[in-house]
Structure 1
Amino acid sequence: MTPELAARFGRIALGHVTREYPHKPDHVLEADGDAYSPRTMHPIFYGSFDWHSCVHGFWLLARIRRLFPQLAETAAIDALFAQSFTSENVEVERAYIDRPSARGFERPYGWAWALMLASELSVGGSNTHAATLQPLADAFVERFRDFLPKLLYPVRAGFHANTAFALVLADRYARVAGDEAFRTLLRTRACDWFARDCAAQAWEPGGEDFLSPTLMEALAMQVLLPPEDFAPWFAAFLPDLTARQPAALFIPAQVSDRSDGKLAHLDGLNLSRAWAMRSLSPHVPSRGGKTLETSAGEHLAAAINEVSGDYMGEHWLATFALLALTGTDGAAG
């Protein structure tokens, strides 16, 4: 991760987090006269095509601000944060999710990204902004606490609904916040859902995936289990890893049309696989770790130059590139 690349990502995000249209709402109309205006309903997260992309666009800016404070883009980031993160704006965002019809709003993907943003603000020296955003973070923690015990079966899809991905991001927040009760809930549910999984077939990618169901599950178990429990679980989960099997897991996805928002998801799959493989590799014995590290490089190379160009990818792909390059916790390198 270089300052030049960080600056490029920062400019991309600054160009879309306040771009109100086009906009794809996750909004339930409650009456004939109900009207929806992105900026009115979401005074902070109204840009970037949809709510969750705007949230993780802000996360990208917060992480770049922390890792590369010397960048010229920092002044614009600071001005944006000061304008956006006000108590009044946060209360409007929080009140929106209290609507009865918003019970499933952005569940669980947007919930997890909101917590990821809160954690990044906390560790990045933006404690005033973190404190301002805390009521929204608290609301999403409570939603997780209420929802996870009710979720009898995990969602294993390769897109927003993926349960394991949400666990990874929520765990980052719980560790930063020192919320061990929340971490215990995340760990317990992960074990309930995934502990008996073995010999993963990796029937992926799907045509619109931007997450690997196989690798997201592995990453969730890695961050939530003690090392002595993760090692045997992972060995049984991907027993033929060193032979690069299942083969589909190690072949970067191809994108046929980057102007199609769903097909462009596959660039995100390559980046999120790179993130997961790089994150897992230090926790896997040498040959397996090297296999993951090599494949991560192949996936990263397939997509790193595709983060801008068409807005269907540009409004979100740099986030996953930054994850791939800095990891869940954010170490440049």
Structure 2
Amino acid sequence: MARALTPEIGARFAAVALGHVSREYPYKPGHVLAGPADARTPADLHPIFHGSYDWHSCVHGYWLLARVLRRFPDGAQAGAIRAQFDARLTPDRVAGECASFAAPHARGFERPYGWAWLLKLADELARLPETRWSEALAPLAALIVRRFGDFLPIAPYPVRVGTHFNTAFALRLAADYAEGAGEAALGALLLETAERWYGADAGCPAWGEPGGDDFLSSALIEAECMRRLLPPVRFRPWFDRFLPDLAAGRPATLFQPADVTDRSDGKIAHLDGLNLSRAWCFRALAAALDPADPRCPPLAAAAEAHLGAALPHVTGDYMGEHWLASFALLALEA
């Protein structure tokens, strides 16, 4: 039987996230310092997202908490999640986050990975019955929508690496917000950009995968991006061209879980995330196909193999623990 999110797993993941979203140190800042006054503490710079080692990991830690709360509103950690949100997701703290984005040198801050996760969080909060948290975050979500609107039209090429700069991952997450929020202009821009960047791609060899610090498969996340944005009648012919030999288990490198040799090394620990994000993509892509499609069994088997390789290591060392559960949740909920 395929692995799935359970109340027990949700409570365990939420407990992990609650333990790090407010843990200020160690912290990796992402801002350019224009002068001595910019050398500020994480909590001063980011009144909400100053935990979890870095800004984007804190954002998707909050997304995990929101998702677990929506799935299990009476779960073991539900009260603690609500208390955390009431303490942190407030208008004044959101204003502080917006101020950091308004700094003169912050144009590219968290572009595009953190932007995408912020919109993913906003989408999840909007699905909760408690409206106060979504309403509080709305100014920051609107700011990020404007950033996407300014950036995507002037970005001539995609970024295909397996790390934070991957543009397909950003389009994929932003699409959930655009649909849920009824942001038709953003949705149209995401689709136009995906077609411009990826529409002509075919025969993907995946020869560069995995890289030594990848947590995304550039091939699979591109396919998942196109699955999310294209209508099914257009996605399937594109998918047939892009990865034509999946039924035969090729490219073979995509089907072999990555080997993680040192989970205390932050870059090498990314490979656990690669296994989880591949599982997410394998599951989502298989679900988009006819159940009788010969690609479904190898995709499902690969998803389970990758989950089996990574799930035991979601916790244990802070270099992975501060972010891996979010990707495990994506995979289990695909």
Deviation at 1:284, TM superposition (A): 2.4
Deviation string 1:85-104 (CA, Å, 9 cap, x unpaired) is 11100001011101110001
Identify unmatched segments of 5+ residues in structure 1. 328-333
| Of 174, 193, 199, the match for 1:189 | 193
Among all aligned residue pairs of Structure 1 and Structure 2, give the percentage whose two residues are the same amino acid.
Answer: 57
Residue of structure 1 in register with 2:34 after alignment: 30
Residue of structure 1 in register with 2:205 after alignment: 201
Residue of structure 2 in register with 1:229 after alignment: 234
Question: What amino acid maps onto 1:9 in structure 2?
Answer: F
Residue of structure 2 in register with 1:309 after alignment: 316
The 10-residue stretch of structure 1 (212-221 or 121-130) with the greater mean CA deviation from structure 2: 121-130
Residue of structure 2 in register with 1:255 after alignment: 260
Alignment partner of 1:243 is 2:248: yes
What is the CA–CA distance in structure 1 between the aligned matches of 2:98 and 2:38, rounded to whole Å?
19
SS in 2 for 1:15: helix
Deviation string 1:50-81 (CA, Å, 9 cap, x unpaired) is 00000000000000000011212111110000
User: What pairs up with 1:279-318 in 2 under 5 angstroms?
Assistant: 279-285=284-290, 286-318=293-325
User: What pairs up with 1:215-226 in 2 under 5 angstroms?
Assistant: 215-226=220-231
Deviation string 1:225-266 (CA, Å, 9 cap, x unpaired) is 111110100001111110000000000001000000000000
| Of 244, 250, 273, the match for 2:278 | 273
What is the CA–CA distance in structure 2 between the aligned matches of 1:188 and 1:35, rounded to whole Å?
39
User: What pairs up with 1:1-333 in 2 under 5 angstroms?
Assistant: 1-203=5-207, 204-285=209-290, 286-327=293-334
Deviation string 1:304-324 (CA, Å, 9 cap, x unpaired) is 110000000000000000000
What is the CA–CA distance in structure 2 between the aligned matches of 1:306 and 1:175, rounded to whole Å?
33
What is the CA–CA distance in structure 1 between the aligned matches of 2:92 and 2:270, rounded to whole Å?
34
What is the CA–CA distance in structure 2 between the aligned matches of 1:266 and 1:99, rounded to whole Å?
33
Give the structure-2-normalised TM-score: 0.97
What is the CA–CA distance in structure 2 between the aligned matches of 1:49 and 1:76, rounded to whole Å?
21
What is the CA–CA distance in structure 2 between the aligned matches of 1:99 and 1:34, rounded to whole Å?
9
Question: What amino acid maps onto 1:317 in structure 2?
Answer: L
What is the CA–CA distance in structure 1 between the aligned matches of 2:101 and 2:162, rounded to whole Å?
25
Question: What amino acid maps onto 1:261 in structure 2?
Answer: G
SS in 2 for 1:319: helix
Question: What amino acid maps onto 1:296 in structure 2?
Answer: A
What is the CA–CA distance in structure 2 between the aligned matches of 1:34 and 1:197, rounded to whole Å?
43
Deviation at 1:33, TM superposition (A): 4.4
Residue of structure 2 in register with 1:330 after alignment: none
The 10-residue stretch of structure 1 (288-297 or 129-138) with the greater mean CA deviation from structure 2: 288-297
Deviation string 1:90-140 (CA, Å, 9 cap, x unpaired) is 001011101110001000000000000000000122321101100000000
Deviation at 1:289, TM superposition (A): 2.0
Is the contact between residue 283 and residue 289 of structure 1 (CA under 8 Å) also seen in structure 2? no
Give the structure-1-normalised TM-score: 0.97
What is the CA–CA distance in structure 1 between the aligned matches of 2:249 and 2:76, rounded to whole Å?
42
Deviation string 1:12-42 (CA, Å, 9 cap, x unpaired) is 0000000000000001111134322100110
What is the CA–CA distance in structure 1 between the aligned matches of 2:190 and 2:298, rounded to whole Å?
29
What is the CA–CA distance in structure 1 between the aligned matches of 2:102 and 2:73, rounded to whole Å?
36
SS in 1 for 2:21: coil
